[in-house]
């Protein structure tokens, strides 16, 4: 763990992020905010206060620590301070914008009230340089979440603005150690400075802005010392703009216990590599063998021939126990309402566009999964269809489309409108040649099926990675009123039009 947060606990846990104590006037060795906490304790419900200041900073992202990169960071560090809070508590986070441009904070995966969702122009006005905004909301769900800006997101995330938000179970899982790894990649030039050129058309129309330097918690991948027999809970988060990680854990065979924060039946994934698209999280339990190998490499093998080491686990010291523990790994489910699949309304979202997308769209049309009715809704019906599509892909900079529309255009309105409390089954169709991690705000959804085949364990997610030509079915209860974005978390794809709104009345 490389996070430095100073805690001072009490019934109200106040935390100050970063090594530089903000409001550094310390009283009796405690930061100022702690004394405030004490003073007002009588009226205190279970509230955690946090001050987040995005601004310019420096970080050593490459293995030579003498080399520093100019970044944007929350409270001076990449990642920003870890926010750790208990399930059921309330977070009060003040954003103070010291960036040279407007920003907001989005609380990725958290089911907050709409006004706290941090989407400029949809849920709030962007916060001007020098301005501030108070985010206040309760945390009904335990799990691994994160925060990041939702204004000029490609650049603001790409320059280092993100941090983990861990909501601890009231009954935490017994483990020897917990690790939080926030994965990212950076596009650095010769002097380890961040390349500008955000939203380059090539990135928008292909795989997003893929970097040339991978970091874990803002540092070059390194070695983690572990002990034989140790049980570790690893919280993995992907904060990259566009990079999908395909993680190989050597012989460690991790058990997946939560996905996108929400508990899932503990299981070993059948696939040899664990896929983690931008925005997604995985909670894993890793048992270090009691004897045998003394070093395990965690590798990213998403891109053939361009593998990256993410970490090495070096086993040393005395064994923690003589055999792997058989303790239960099941977490208590979060209070997410179960959709009523029989009563649910059904909607489809067809994603199209991007380089080489025409072929996939054509295939899905020929196989009958995209119907003539859907095509005409997309403005691609009849003979003119494919030609329209080609035109819509070149031209305007709107490389991608959802149901054929340009969601940023005024007057288009929401993609889907739902009554409050209604159950909804959504089919997401990827009629493109690229993978897309589609993220829904304000709700968790059940992943029901891929290409009509029921998915194992039907996890609760907020982001689902969809392969080219794949159809994914999700379901959720529209219980959170407001306008909620549903967008690709490859941030350059969102810029290119892969975004829209689901309205809950
Ligand atoms: Cu992680 Cu719309 O965001
Ligand atoms: Cu995408």
Is 279 touching ligand 1 by the criterion CB < 6 Å? yes
Is 487 touching ligand 1 by the criterion CB < 6 Å? yes
Q: Given the CA of residue 494, which atom of ligand 1 is nearest to it? A: 2
- Residues near 406 by beta carbon (within 8 Å), at least 6 away in sequence: 396, 398, 412, 497
Contact present, 96 and 74 (Cβ < 8 Å): no
Nearest CA owner, ligand 1 atom 3: 108
pLDDT digits (tens, 9 = 90+) for 398-454: 699 999 876 555 456 899 999 999 999 999 999 999 999 999 999 999 999 999 999
Sheet holding 90-96, edge to edge: 5-8, 14-17, 47-52, 90-96, 132-138
Q: Find the 484 Cα to ligand 1 centroid distance in Å.
A: 10
Q: What pLDDT is stored for residue 385 in this prediction?
A: 54
Residue spans of alpha helices (H) in 314-422: 357-366, 372-377, 385-393
Among the bound ligands, name the one nearest to the CA of residue 399: 2
Q: Find the 443 Cα to ligand 2 centroid distance in Å.
A: 20
Q: Given the CA of residue 485, which atom of ligand 1 is nearest to it? A: 2
Q: Find the 498 Cα to ligand 2 centroid distance in Å.
A: 7
Model pTM?
0.90
Residue spans of alpha helices (H) in 97-206: 153-158, 201-205
pLDDT digits (tens, 9 = 90+) for 45-83: 699 999 999 999 999 999 998 999 999 999 999 999 999
Is 485 touching ligand 1 by the criterion CB < 6 Å? yes
Q: Find the 278 Cα to ligand 1 centroid distance in Å.
A: 9
Q: What is the spatial distance between Cα 57 and Cα 54, in angstroms, rounded to a whole number?
A: 9
Q: What is the spatial distance between Cα 185 and Cα 158, in angstroms, rounded to a whole number?
A: 8
Is 106 touching ligand 1 by the criterion CB < 6 Å? yes
Q: Given the CA of residue 441, which atom of ligand 1 is nearest to it? A: 2
Task: Using 50 as the pLDDT threshold, list the residues of the chain that sit under it.
Answer: 1-43, 395-396, 410
Among the bound ligands, name the one nearest to the CA of residue 207: 2
Q: Given the CA of residue 487, which atom of ligand 1 is nearest to it? A: 2
Contact present, 192 and 69 (Cβ < 8 Å): yes
Among the bound ligands, name the one nearest to the CA of residue 490: 2
Q: Given the CA of residue 148, which atom of ligand 1 is nearest to it? A: 1
Q: Find the 67 Cα to ligand 1 centroid distance in Å.
A: 31
Q: What pLDDT is stored for residue 469 in this prediction?
A: 97
Q: What pLDDT is stored for residue 34 in this prediction?
A: 34
Among the bound ligands, name the one nearest to the CA of residue 484: 1
Give which of 149, 255, 35 is closest to 491, Cα–Cα: 149
Q: What pLDDT is stored for residue 404 in this prediction?
A: 87
Q: What pLDDT is stored for residue 301 in this prediction?
A: 97
Q: What pLDDT is stored for residue 10 in this prediction?
A: 32
Q: What is the spatial distance between Cα 388 and Cα 391, in angstroms, rounded to a whole number?
A: 5
- Residues near 302 by beta carbon (within 8 Å), at least 6 away in sequence: 243, 244, 245, 246, 273, 275
Element (H, E) at 38: helix 32-39
Look at residue 235 and give its three-state secondary structure: strand
Q: What is the spatial distance between Cα 296 and Cα 254, in angstroms, rounded to a whole number?
A: 12
Is 111 touching ligand 1 by the criterion CB < 6 Å? no
pLDDT digits (tens, 9 = 90+) for 161-200: 999 999 999 999 999 999 999 999 999 999 999 999 999 9
């Amino acid at each position: 763990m490389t996070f430095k947060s100073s805690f001072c606990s009490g019934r109200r846990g106040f935390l100050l992020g970063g090594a530089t104590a903000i409001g550094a006037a310390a009283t009796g060795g405690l930061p100022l905010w702690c004394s405030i906490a004490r003073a007002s304790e009588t009226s205190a419900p279970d509230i955690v206060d946090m001050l987040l200041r995005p601004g310019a900073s420096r970080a050593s992202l490459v293995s030579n620590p003498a080399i520093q990169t100019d970044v944007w960071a929350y409270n001076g560090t990449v990642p920003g301070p870890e926010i750790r809070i208990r399930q059921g508590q309330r977070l009060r986070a003040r954003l103070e914008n010291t960036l040279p441009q407007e920003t907001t904070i989005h609380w990725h995966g958290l089911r907050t009230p709409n006004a706290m969702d941090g989407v400029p122009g949809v849920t709030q006005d962007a916060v001007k340089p020098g301005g501030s905004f108070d985010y206040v909301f309760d945390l009904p769900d335990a799990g691994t979440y994160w925060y990041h800006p939702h204004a000029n997101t490609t650049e603001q995330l790409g320059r280092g603005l993100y941090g983990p938000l861990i909501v601890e179970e009231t009954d935490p899982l017994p483990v020897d150690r917990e690790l939080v790894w926030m994965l990212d990649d950076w596009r650095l030039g010769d002097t380890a400075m961040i390349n500008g050129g955000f939203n380059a058309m090539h990135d928008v129309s292909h795989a997003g802005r893929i970097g040339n330097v991978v970091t874990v918690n803002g540092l070059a991948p390194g070695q983690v010392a572990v002990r034989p027999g140790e049980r570790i809970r690893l919280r993995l988060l992907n904060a990259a703009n566009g990079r999908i990680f395909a993680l190989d854990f050597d012989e460690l065979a991790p058990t997946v216990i939560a996905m996108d924060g929400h508990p899932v039946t503990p299981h070993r994934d059948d696939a040899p590599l664990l896929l983690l698209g931008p925005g997604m999280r995985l909670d894993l339990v890793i048992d270090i063998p009691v004897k045998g190998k003394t070093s395990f490499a965690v590798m990213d093998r998403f891109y053939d021939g361009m593998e990256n080491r993410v970490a090495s686990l070096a086993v040393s010291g005395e064994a923690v126990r003589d055999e792997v523990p058989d303790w239960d790994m099941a977490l208590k489910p979060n209070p997410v309402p179960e959709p009523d699949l029989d009563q649910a309304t059904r909607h489809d979202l067809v994603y199209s566009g991007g380089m080489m997308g025409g072929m996939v769209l054509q295939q899905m049309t020929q196989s009958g999964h995209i119907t003539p009715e859907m095509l005409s809704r997309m403005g691609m019906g009849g003979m003119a269809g494919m030609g329209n599509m080609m035109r819509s892909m070149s031209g305007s900079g709107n490389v991608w489309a959802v149901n054929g529309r340009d969601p940023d255009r005024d007057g288009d309105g929401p993609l889907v409108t739902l009554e409050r409390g209604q159950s909804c089954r959504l089919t997401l169709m990827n009629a493109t040649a690229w993978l897309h991690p589609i993220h829904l705000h304000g709700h968790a959804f059940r992943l029901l099926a891929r290409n009509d085949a029921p998915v194992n364990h039907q996890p609760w997610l907020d982001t689902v990675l969809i392969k080219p030509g794949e159809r994914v079915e999700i379901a959720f209860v529209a219980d959170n009123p407001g306008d909620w974005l549903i967008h690709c978390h490859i941030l350059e794809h969102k810029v290119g039009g892969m975004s829209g709104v689901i309205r809950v009345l």
